[in-house]
Amino acid sequence: MQSRVSSENIVELVSSLRKQVAPQWEEVDQIALANQRRVLKAFHTHRVSDYHFAAGTGYGYNDSGRDVLEAIYAEVFGGEAAFVRPQLASGTHAISACLFGLLRPGDELLYASGAPYDTLQHVIGGDDAPPSSLKAWGIGYRHVELNPDDTLDITGIINSISPQTKVVALQRSRGYSWRRALSVREIGEATQAIKAAHPHVAVFVDNCYGEFVESLEPGHVGVDLLAGSLIKNPGAGIAPAGGYIVGREDLVALAADAAVAPGIGQEVGAMFDLTRTLLQGIFLAPHVTAQAVKGAILMAAAMEKLGFAVSPTWDEARSDIVQAIRFESPEPLIAFCQGIQQAGPVDHFVSPVPAPMPGYADKVVMAAGTFIQGSSIELSADGPIRPPYIAYLQGGLTVEHCQIAVEGAIAAVQAAMKERED
């Protein structure tokens, strides 16, 4: 049963909730401090200097700044090597490079965390697989559903691995689904069990939305390869584009060749004068991610207080920055996204409406008043127009902005529900 708050009391309500969530915010601050120590240590280890900021041109041969950036990513995320480039257009592009790099015709990909989110379906290939998909290249695919309590079915995963299974993939974040994110501990336990039973298999993690939310990353618990987007957590809202791949040296080389060209993937690629920005982004990322997590906790507390189902709850452990709110009908979902848009610093006057989106089966309503197009570490919200009409909130560069957006979202949802009743 949803409750209502008068417009003049919304600010008071949200302000009061800051006291309720203070213990959770303190835990987030401690995680941010641990992550900041690790990032700073990597900067010191690799002796970052201003000469690393110089811009390369053309092929980008012998780019010492790019080398240092990738060395820092490898150390921070627990890998032997890294491939970090602005040419990687998205997290999906980085993941696709990993899968095409590691898999060959006759091999099989096994997703161990249920079916992956919408945009990867075209990479894998369904009934209407594009001629560029894994399926079109004769690469098989299966997935293992999560347990009813959203935990990994480790026994089911191990029993599903065949001699053809080359890669077992895990999606850390929830995607467009009502399930919690996988913790690094769970990922580590699954990885150890998989490798004990099937040493020939490589474990890959889609790390999008999860970076710096916990004090360890999947690379620290035995994962062979992980990938993500620079316009999510590790770019801290200042990286204008790009993606990263981190892991075993041989596997990173294969993924880099798939992204660029065989034999030269790691050796070429001008950085377009972005090395300083990308270095500064990962330096700021622990703090900025913590701000986003605090904002998500505050939103969860507020929407739960008003009677909406949320996942995770405000006092639940988190492993990604995503906050899901279930509305049960399209009008409040759309209004919620419109409220988030109106609180944005860019295009606040735009009113998002459901529309087709590349890679998605349903129309999607998407709010993103961001400085970087599609930047999920900046405050944004979206959701597919399908039951049970869930909004997925992510990001927030400052907790102050998050609080203002919480207030605006509540006001917009309440107005939409009142209009629907009238």
Q: How far apart are CA 354 and CA 320, in angstroms?
A: 25
| Residue the block writes with tokens 């001629």 | 131
| pLDDT tens digits, 315-358 | 999 999 999 999 999 999 999 999 999 999 999 999 999 999 87
Chain CA centroid to CA 350, Å: 25
- Residue at 374: amino acid letter: G
| pLDDT tens digits, 382-404 | 999 999 999 999 999 999 999 99
Chain CA centroid to CA 218, Å: 13
Tokens of 5: 């708050």
- pTM beyond 0.85, yes or no: yes
Q: How far apart are CA 209 and CA 380, in angstroms?
A: 13
Q: How far apart are CA 317 and CA 274, in angstroms?
A: 35
Q: Determine contact, residues 73/228, Cβ cutoff 8 Å.
A: no
Q: Determine contact, residues 120/158, Cβ cutoff 8 Å.
A: no
Question: What pLDDT is recorded for position 369?
Answer: 94
Backbone CA torsion sign across 177, 180, 181, 184: negative
Each residue's pLDDT tens digit in the chain (422 positions)? Answer: 566 766 668 999 999 999 999 999 999 999 999 999 999 999 999 999 999 999 999 999 999 999 999 999 999 999 999 999 999 999 999 999 999 999 999 999 999 999 998 778 889 987 777 899 999 999 999 999 999 999 999 999 999 999 999 999 999 999 888 999 999 999 999 999 999 999 999 999 999 999 999 999 999 999 999 999 999 999 999 999 999 999 999 999 999 999 999 999 999 999 999 999 999 999 999 999 999 999 999 999 999 999 999 999 999 999 999 999 999 999 999 999 999 999 999 999 999 999 998 767 789 999 999 999 999 999 999 999 999 999 999 999 999 999 999 999 999 999 888 777 76
- Radius of gyration (Cα) for the chain, nearest Å? 21
Q: Determine contact, residues 112/143, Cβ cutoff 8 Å.
A: yes
Tokens of 289: 């991610």
Question: What pLDDT is recorded for position 126?
Answer: 76
Question: What pLDDT is recorded for position 174?
Answer: 92
For residue 269, CA distances in Å to 55, 60, 85, 298 come to: 11, 5, 8, 41
Question: What pLDDT is recorded for position 422?
Answer: 63
Q: How far apart are CA 165 and CA 144, in angstroms?
A: 13
For residue 374, CA distances in Å to 241, 283, 290 come to: 10, 21, 19
Percentage of residues of the chain with pLDDT beyond 70:
98
- Residue at 116: amino acid letter: P
Q: How far apart are CA 204 and CA 232, in angstroms?
A: 19
Question: What pLDDT is recorded for position 361?
Answer: 77
Mean pLDDT computed over every residue of the chain: 95
Nearest to 174 by CA among 126, 206, 215, 141: 206
Alpha carbon dihedral 149, 155, 159, 163, in 10-degree steps, equals 100
